[in-house]
C-alpha cells in the first residue's frame, strides 16, 4: 500500500474496517500537517483511547509509514516516545524543461532532495522523438536513484509558455489536439503527471522552501531568456480564469517596432529579457564599444548568461552598463504591478538574479521612483534563495500539494 492509498478511501467496506482505516488515516494526516506527536497527544486530538491509538501507530510503524523519534523529556514519570511520518514513505518527482537542458529532482515527504540532476543535456523540440527522449531521461533518472518507483506519488513537469495545468495541455511544445500531454507522459512513466508553467512552479518553490518568510501575497519575477511572473495570493498560486496568468513579458509597452518571439510588436521582452540583451550587446559592439566577452554571431540561444557572467565575474564595463540599464527599465515597469497588486514581497529570480546588486539596486531605485510610496513603503524586495533549483524544488512542492493536500484536508 502506498501513502496515497492509505489517505484514500478504504477498500474494506465493513463498518469495522472503515473505522479502523479512518483512524489510521487521521493519525497519518495529523503527523503530516501538524508535525511530530506523542501517543497521548494523538489520543487527545483524535478523541480515541490510548490503547487503540497505540495499536494503530504500531501498525503504521510496522508498515513503514511512521517512525519512532525516541523518548522526549517530561516533568516526571515515563518518558513518552515521539512519532513522525517516515521521510522515506513517499516521494515527489519534479522536472524542469529548458530549451537545451532539463533538471530533475526527487524529494521525500519531508521536503528533502534525495536525488537531483541539474542541467542535463536535452534539446527541446516539438517532435515525437524529442518527447520520447525526454521520457526516457526521466525513467533513467528514476532507475538510477535508490527509490522504489512504487513510492513516487506523482510527477510535476514544468514547461515555459502557455500551460493549461487544469486540463494537462502544453500549447508551446508537444501539443496534441486529441489528448492531454500529461496523459501521454503518464503512460510513458507509469506515474501520475501534472503539468505546470515553469515560472509558477519557481514562485511556489520560493514560497514553500525559499526566500519567503511569512508573506502571503507575492510576485515572483522569472527574469531570464524571457520574462514572466508567478503570483501567490493568500498563500495560494494564482492561475487566472484559464490558467494563463503571469505573461508579463508579452505586455505591449514599447513603440519600437521590434518583433517579439510571441509574434507581436513592442512587448516588454523586446527590450527587457535575455534575448534582447544579446541583441543590445551585438549592437553595442557594432558601434565600436569594447568588451572582454565574445558571443557566437551565428547563435543567440542562452548566450545572455555569458553577458551576465561578464558583469559578475569580469566586471566588464559594457556588460555592467547593459544589465544595469535593463534592470532600471525592469523596475520601472514592475512598479505598475506594485501599484496594482500591492504585494508583501517581490522576488527577483531567473538568470538575472545571479547579478545580485547589479540588478537589485537599479530595480529598487526605479521602484521607489515610479511606484506609489504607499505601496512601496512596506513591500520587501528579495533575490531568489533557491537559484537554479527553484524550478525543480517548486515542481516537487506543486505535485505534493496537488496529490496529498486534498486527501489530508478531506
For residues 154 and 219, membership in a common domain is answered with: no
How confident is the model at residue 32, as a pLDDT?
A: 87
339: how many CB neighbours lie within 10 A of its CB?
Answer: 14
Of the pLDDT bands very low, low, confident and very high (cuts 50, 70, 90), residue 236 is very high
**Strands, sheet with 101-108, edge to edge from the N-terminal-most edge strand:** 113-121, 101-108, 91-97, 152-159, 193-197
How confident is the model at residue 319, as a pLDDT?
A: 97
Q: What total of structural domains would you count in the chain?
A: 3
Q: Is residue 404 part of a domain?
A: yes
How confident is the model at residue 363, as a pLDDT?
A: 98
For residues 162 and 95, membership in a common domain is answered with: yes
> In terms of residue numbers, what domain contains 306?
213-384
Q: Is residue 253 part of a domain?
A: yes
CATH of the domain at 224: 3.30.420.40
How confident is the model at residue 298, as a pLDDT?
A: 67
Q: Choose the final residue of a domain: 43, 72, 88.
A: 88
Question: Residue 75: is its pLDDT beyond 70?
Answer: no
Question: Residue 302: is its pLDDT beyond 90?
Answer: no
Q: Is residue 207 part of a domain?
A: no
| pLDDT tens-digit readout, 335-382 | 999 999 999 999 999 999 999 999 999 999 999 999 999 998 889 999
Q: What is the mean pLDDT of residues 317-339?
A: 97
Helices 274-286 and 317-341, packing angle to 10 deg? 140
For residues 25 and 149, membership in a common domain is answered with: no
Of the pLDDT bands very low, low, confident and very high (cuts 50, 70, 90), residue 397 is very high
Q: Is residue 332 part of a domain?
A: yes
For residues 234 and 358, membership in a common domain is answered with: yes
Q: Residue 120, SS3?
A: strand
Write the CB contacts of 164 (distance below 8 Å, at least 6 apart in sequence): 170, 171, 195, 242, 243, 244
Q: What is the mean pLDDT of residues 41-50?
A: 93
How confident is the model at residue 114, as a pLDDT?
A: 94
For residues 238 and 177, membership in a common domain is answered with: no
Question: Residue 410: is its pLDDT beyond 70?
Answer: no
How confident is the model at residue 99, as a pLDDT?
A: 83
pTM: 0.90
Q: Choose the final residue of a domain: 66, 88, 110.
A: 88
Q: Choose the final residue of a domain: 59, 88, 117.
A: 88
Please give the C-alpha separations between residue 228 and each of 41, 103, 197, 202, 334, in angstroms, as whole numbers.
46, 19, 10, 11, 11
Higher-confidence residue: 81 or 222?
222
For residues 66 and 181, membership in a common domain is answered with: no
Of the pLDDT bands very low, low, confident and very high (cuts 50, 70, 90), residue 72 is confident
Question: Residue 59: is its pLDDT beyond 80?
Answer: yes
Please give the C-alpha separations between residue 16 and each of 23, 46, 69, in angstroms, as whole numbers.
11, 17, 30
For residues 226 and 121, membership in a common domain is answered with: no
For residues 142 and 186, membership in a common domain is answered with: yes
How confident is the model at residue 33, as a pLDDT?
A: 82
Q: Is residue 304 part of a domain?
A: yes
Q: Is residue 349 part of a domain?
A: yes
Instruction: Report phi then psi at 315, rounded to 5.
Output: 55, 35
Q: What is the mean pLDDT of residues 176-186?
A: 89
Question: Residue 237: is its pLDDT beyond 80?
Answer: yes
Higher-confidence residue: 1 or 316?
316
Of the pLDDT bands very low, low, confident and very high (cuts 50, 70, 90), residue 301 is low
Q: Is residue 208 part of a domain?
A: no
d(CA 241, CA 90): 32
Please report which residue ranges of 145-257 form alpha helices under DSSP H.
181-189, 198-209
Query: Which of 84, 3, 97 has the alpha carbon at shortest distance from 41?
Result: 84
Q: Which of 13-17, 143-147, 155-159, 188-192 has the lowest mean pLDDT?
A: 13-17
For residues 174 and 274, membership in a common domain is answered with: no
Q: Is residue 340 part of a domain?
A: yes
For residues 369 and 225, membership in a common domain is answered with: yes
Do residues 300 and 278 touch, judged by C-beta distance below 8 A?
yes
Question: Residue 77: is its pLDDT beyond 70?
Answer: no
The rounded mean pLDDT for the chain is: 92
Of the pLDDT bands very low, low, confident and very high (cuts 50, 70, 90), residue 149 is very high
CATH of the domain at 9: 1.10.10.10
Q: What is the mean pLDDT of residues 118-146?
A: 93
For residues 219 and 149, membership in a common domain is answered with: no
Query: Which of 326, 409, 406, 392 has the alpha carbon at shortest distance from 156?
Result: 392
For residues 127 and 73, membership in a common domain is answered with: no
Amino acid at each position: 500500500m502506498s501513502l496515497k492509498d492509505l489517505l484514500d478511501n478504504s477498500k474494506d467496506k465493513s463498518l469495522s474496517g472503515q473505522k479502523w482505516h479512518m483512524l489510521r488515516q487521521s493519525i497519518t494526516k495529523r503527523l503530516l500537517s501538524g508535525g511530530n506527536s506523542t501517543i497521548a497527544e494523538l489520543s487527545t486530538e483524535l478523541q480515541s483511547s490510548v490503547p487503540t491509538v497505540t495499536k494503530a501507530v504500531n501498525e503504521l510503524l510496522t508498515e513503514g509509514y511512521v517512525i519512532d523519534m525516541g523518548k522526549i523529556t517530561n516533568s516526571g514519570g515515563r518518558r513518552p516516545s515521539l512519532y513522525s511520518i517516515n521521510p522515506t514513505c513517499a516521494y515527489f518527482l519534479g522536472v524542469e524543461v529548458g530549451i537545451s537542458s532539463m533538471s530533475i529532482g526527487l524529494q521525500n515527504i519531508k521536503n528533502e532532495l534525495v536525488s537531483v540532476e541539474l542541467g542535463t543535456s536535452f534539446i527541446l523540440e516539438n517532435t515525437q522523438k524529442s518527447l520520447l527522449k525526454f521520457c526516457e531521461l526521466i525513467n533513467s533518472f528514476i532507475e538510477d536513484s535508490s527509490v522504489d518507483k512504487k513510492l513516487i506519488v506523482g510527477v510535476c513537469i514544468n514547461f515555459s509558455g502557455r500551460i493549461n495545468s487544469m486540463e494537462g495541455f502544453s500549447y508551446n511544445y508537444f501539443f496534441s489536439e486529441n489528448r492531454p500531454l500529461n496523459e501521454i507522459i503518464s503512460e510513458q512513466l507509469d506515474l501520475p503527471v501534472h503539468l505546470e508553467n515553469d515560472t509558477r512552479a519557481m514562485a511556489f518553490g520560493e514560497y514553500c522552501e525559499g526566500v519567503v518568510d511569512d508573506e502571503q501575497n507575492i510576485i515572483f519575477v522569472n527574469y531570464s531568456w524571457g520574462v514572466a511572473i508567478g503570483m501567490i495570493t493568500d498563500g495560494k498560486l494564482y492561475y487566472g480564469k484559464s490558467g494563463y496568468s503571469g505573461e508579463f513579458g508579452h505586455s505591449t509597452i514599447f513603440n519600437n517596432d521590434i518583433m517579439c518571439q510571441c509574434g507581436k510588436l513592442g512587448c516588454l521582452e523586446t527590450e527587457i529579457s535575455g534575448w534582447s540583451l544579446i541583441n543590445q550587446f551585438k549592437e553595442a559592439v557594432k558601434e565600436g564599444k569594447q568588451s572582454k566577452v565574445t558571443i557566437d554571431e551565428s547563435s543567440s540561444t542562452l548566450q545572455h548568461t555569458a553577458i551576465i557572467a561578464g558583469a559578475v565575474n569580469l566586471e566588464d564595463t559594457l556588460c555592467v552598463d547593459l544589465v544595469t540599464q535593463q534592470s532600471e527599465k525592469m523596475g520601472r515597469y514592475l512598479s505598475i504591478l506594485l501599484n496594482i497588486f500591492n504585494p508583501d514581497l517581490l522576488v527577483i529570480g531567473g538568470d538575472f538574479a545571479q547579478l545580485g546588486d547589479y540588478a537589485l539596486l537599479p530595480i529598487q531605485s526605479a521602484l521607489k521612483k515610479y511606484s506609489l510610496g504607499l505601496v512601496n513603503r512596506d513591500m520587501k524586495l528579495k533575490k531568489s534563495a533557491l537559484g537554479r533549483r527553484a524550478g525543480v524544488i517548486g515542481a516537487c512542492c506543486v505535485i505534493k500539494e496537488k496529490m496529498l493536500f486534498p486527501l489530508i484536508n478531506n
